Chain A
Amino acid sequence: MIRLQRVTKRFGGAAEALSNVSLRVDPGAMAFITGPSGAGKSTLLRLIAGLERPTRGHIRVNGHDLDQLSSHAIPRFRRSIGLVFQDHRLLFDRPVFDNVALPLEILGYRRPEMRKRVRAALDKVGLLHKEAANPRTLSAGEQQRVGIARAVVHRPVLLLADEPTGNLDPALSREILQLFDDFNRVGMTALIASHDLALVERMGKPVLHLENGRVEARGGMGGGA
């Protein structure tokens, strides 16, 4: 599903955000990227989502060579991915339902089908009763779950999450990671970046540990150095 070969990313004249990173995530797998702030976790996820281009190296995701992907082909590629952010990035000018429906609207779904899928996604994250609420009125944990519902509503093949538990207490964090595990069990490949080592270890999944943009350790994860 994901294959990175000796990928380096440098922003302008700054130091390398990622140096020579290789990684492989098989279809249907669930894996974690760990490391302290500034280790390059977000950059790695942004490269995989096609939001950034690597300075060197090759990235292949879901059968697409990202370094050969034209700017016209990028939107179609991104539709196969669900992305969850630490800061949720919800739109406060519309209710929860419309936030979750956004990917389906982009895909051109009809209203009845859209309603069914949005309600199913909200039900899965336990927020069906909040579909008409403005996201501003929700707690941080609820906002994160709306963000997750939006990321999975169009049933992407790959789910990427950047510190999805960053602002949550331990109980809520476990709940959120359990949600990712549930999505993974129905076939969604998941790659999650987190600095919470203890929480990640409890999940018993492959882990790639980054320090200063370099792979420091890998537990049960392919790709080589």
Chain B
Amino acid sequence: MNPERPLAGRLTGWLESHRDAARRSLRRRLQSPVLSLISIAVLGFILALPAYLWVLLDNARSLSAHVDHDPRIAVYLDGPDDGDIARLEDLLDDNGQVERWSRIEADTALEEYRAGLSDPGLLDWLDDNPLPEVVDVVPASTDPQRVAALREALEAAAPGATIISDDEWMRQLDSLHALGLRILAVLAGMLGLGAVLILALASASELRERQEEIAISRISGATHRFLRRPSLYGGLFTGLGGGVMAVLLLLATTAASRQPLERAAGAFDLDFALRLPEPGHVLALLAAGLALGWVGARLGSGHALRDAP
């Protein structure tokens, strides 16, 4: 008595069924706004916390670009011949990793030193100039790996030279940043798992409230997929709401931190302006909210349907 219906009709029916499930789910949420808002708020805070920490870490990472101090590599050449210096100069001129460089001859350095003394005659007792030739190199990139590569190239070009680079602080900053990112990933993972479990619990309890509807629907031939559809839409609504709330919280907390952070940076002579979240970050937060909401609802509804009569 149920003749096969055409595919187009079935497809439209399927889409209408999704629309009805979404509407019913939304109506259910609007009927108990306080509970819905609590779920959204929980997800919003859980998403906003790691996002805020990430913004701070990202800004801390970018501090190196704002520090008014380029890393430098000093090459000390003790008694070099003209060939050594020419080889080094060729390398510095041709290497793309070099921003600029300057050579301080030993005699010039001694004269500058002498000029700085209150009694220039103090150095007259020296038989010869003890100062080395110095080549001062400013790398093009502040990336610690590139600075290290340039230093290795300089060591190869001037084997007898003493080379000292002052990029240690950058390496430390970089490793601290990597550590911060790892801690943040662990924290975000734990919070995300917690959010999924909370949402799964909410979804399961909502499904239990629909117990009679589910029993009747099952008798009428409803599949699990059909029965959990409103819950999944509910999860997406909560996820979207949580994502929006997280974005608002992130913008508010970042804006609130901006002034004190910039003032603190100013105290260290750092020309620093806090970067606000970009559209990509906003979309990522919304996507994370939707994903957590869906996974939580899928988990909770799947469990509750298995237990339902």
| Residue ranges of A at the interface with B (Cβ–Cβ < 8 Å) | 49, 51, 75-81, 83, 89, 91, 93, 102-103, 105-111, 113, 150, 154-157, 187-188
Contact = CB atoms under 8 A, between A and B. Distances in A.
Contacts of B222: 75, 106
Contacts of A156: 1-2
A102 B217 contact: yes
Interface of B: 1-2, 5, 9-10, 12-14, 16-17, 20, 212-213, 215-223, 226
Interface centre among A79, A107, A111 (most CB of B within 10 A): A107
Q: Is the interface of B mostly helix, strand, loop or mixed?
A: helix
B220 A109 contact: no
A83 B221 contact: no
Contact of A157 (B1, B212, B215, B221): B1
Contacts of A83: 219-220
B16 A110 contact: yes
B153 to A, nearest CB: 66
A76 B12 contact: no
A102 B14 CA distance: 14
B221 A106 contact: yes
Contacts of B5: 109
B213 to A, nearest CB: 5
8 contacts: A49-B219, A75-B221, A78-B218, A78-B220, A81-B221, A89-B216, A107-B2, A107-B13
A158 B215 CA distance: 19
A40 B216 CA distance: 21
Contacts of B20: 105
Contact of B2 (A80, A91, A187): A80
A79 B5 CA distance: 15
A61 B13 CA distance: 28
B13 to A, nearest CB: 4
Given A107-B2, A110-B9, A79 B17 contact: no
Contacts of B217: 102, 106
